[in-house]
Amino acid sequence: MSLFKNHEKAYLMLADGQVFEGKSFGAKGSVIGEVVFTTGVTGYEETLTDPSYYGQIVTQTFPLIGNYGVNHEDQESAKSYVSGYIVREWCEMPSNFRCEGNISDFLKEHNIIGLYDIDTRRLTRIIRETGVMNGIITTEDITAKKDELLEKIRSFSIKDAVSSVTIPEAHIYTPETKKHRVLLFDFGYKRNIREELLKRGCEVIVVPGNTTAEQVKEYAPDGIMFSNGPGDPAENTEIIANIREIQQLGIPIFGICLGHQLMALANGAKTEKLKYGHRGANQPVIDLESGLTYVTSQNHGYAVVGDSIPKEAGFVSHINANDKTCEGIRYTSVNARTVQFHPEAHGGPLDTSYLFDEFVETMEREAE
């Protein structure tokens, strides 16, 4: 474990040429990515291990990160998928009975380049006002290479996101008492989705994101879960085509985040890139059927255009209370429902975990 903070200089340069000078923590080197911010007060380890952040440099708006350390139980996947990590201050000596190490050593272990001691409030305001933009974190002096680096930054884009994070072959997870079998499509899934299903007696078969309808039939599942994941949903043309066929099998489907977006695209809707996305654990979502508002955890840069959903396919079931974007769809043409937020949120809140119960109830009704 590190005993003293590193005071070596490090820099963030944005695509518009603005430069932030700070200090280095984690791994050293240079990395280009899409600079985003998340408002989570806790759950930073879940953020670091969420595959949905693939290709992104994540900025934490909360000023102190790492005060309860890191531990293997809170990780949402086996590795970190962020390109880079930015905080105002990191805690060198964390204190928690579950603590297994500090955040700087965690970043080094996963080869993630970190930057601290910059004005994260100013950076967040820039992203909010101008929108998400590319940037580079580097421990090298950028002065002499500024023009060359700007060209690289501006030409960067996140590509092949789902294929970069999905598993190559299926894995089976069995609960103590098996009641149902669920296929969990890995578009970049978070571990706690699997855990919530296991908790409810579901055997979970995690399958690659490009699994076809014919392969689904061979597994004979009681339900299908389309997971979260990174990147532009519209780029996944092969997966979208597969979903069109899979949904016709009549098997109950539950989609989360990217799974929600891909399902919508498969049914003729459109998606759009948000100015700076929704990332954090305090996003208010209105259930249009009950009128209730829930606090949700979210991580997405794209959204389904609510008005683009064909009337014969389904209807918007949830909206974001802040910007009124689509947060959920109930389908009437096929046996499916999807949401944009994370009902399984490991770091909380747990307001919408009941959606997993509804999914299990749907499978039970189909079995009868």
248-299: per-residue pLDDT in tens? 999 999 999 999 999 999 999 999 999 999 999 999 999 999 999 999 999 9
Instruction: Answer yes or no: do 225 and 296 share one domain.
Output: yes
Strands (E), the chain: 9-14, 19-26, 30-38, 56-60, 64-65, 84-86, 89-90, 113-116, 133-138, 171-173, 180-186, 202-208, 223-226, 253-256, 271-287, 293-304, 314-320, 326-331, 336-339
Instruction: Answer yes or no: do 218 and 246 share one domain.
Output: yes
Concerning whether 202 is annotated as a catalytic residue, the answer is no
Concerning whether 76 is annotated as a catalytic residue, the answer is no
Instruction: Answer yes or no: do 194 and 331 share one domain.
Output: yes
Residue 6, pLDDT above cutoff 50: yes
Instruction: Answer yes or no: do 258 and 343 share one domain.
Output: yes
Concerning whether 326 is annotated as a catalytic residue, the answer is no
Instruction: Answer yes or no: do 227 and 314 share one domain.
Output: yes
Work out whether the CA dihedral 353, 170, 56, 238 comes out positive or negative. Answer: negative
Work out whether the CA dihedral 43, 45, 48, 50 comes out positive or negative. Answer: negative
* Confidence at residue 346, expressed as pLDDT on a 0 to 100 scale: 83
Instruction: Answer yes or no: do 172 and 145 share one domain.
Output: no
Q: What is the mean pLDDT of residues 314-320?
A: 98
150-182 pLDDT per residue, tens: 999 999 999 999 999 999 999 999 999 999 999
* Confidence at residue 1, expressed as pLDDT on a 0 to 100 scale: 44
CATH number (domain holding residue 344):
3.40.50.880
* Active-site choice (260, 318, 342, 346): 342
* Of 292, 304, 301, the residue nearest 351 (C-alpha): 292
Residue 103, pLDDT above cutoff 80: yes
* Active-site choice (202, 257, 278, 327): 257
Instruction: Answer yes or no: do 185 and 83 share one domain.
Output: no
* Confidence at residue 368, expressed as pLDDT on a 0 to 100 scale: 83
CATH number (domain holding residue 42):
3.50.30.20
CB 257 within 8 A of CB 300: yes
Overall number of domains in the chain: 2
Q: How confident is the model at residue 2 (pLDDT cuts 50, 70, 90)?
A: very low
Residue range(s) defining the domain that contains residue 340: 162-367
| pTM metric for this prediction | 0.95
